[in-house]
Amino acid sequence: MGEFVTAFTNSAFSRKQENEADDYAFKFCIENDVDPYAMAKALEKLVKLSNGEKSNAIQKMLASHPDSKDRAARMRAKAEEYVNN
pLDDT tens readout for residues 45-70:
988 887 755 555 545 544 556 788 88
Whether residue 31 is predicted with pLDDT greater than 80 in this model: the reply is yes
Task: Record the pTM.
Answer: 0.69
The pLDDT value recorded for residue 2 is 59
The per-residue pLDDT for 62 is 43
Instruction: Return the amino acid letter for 27.
Output: K
Neighbour tally for 61: CB within 10 Å: 13
Closest by CA to 39, choosing from 84, 79, 85, 66, is 79
Q: Please state, as a whole number, how many other Cβ atoms lie within 10 Å of the Cβ of residue 31.
A: 8
Residue among 6, 1, 23, 25 at smallest CA distance from 64: 6
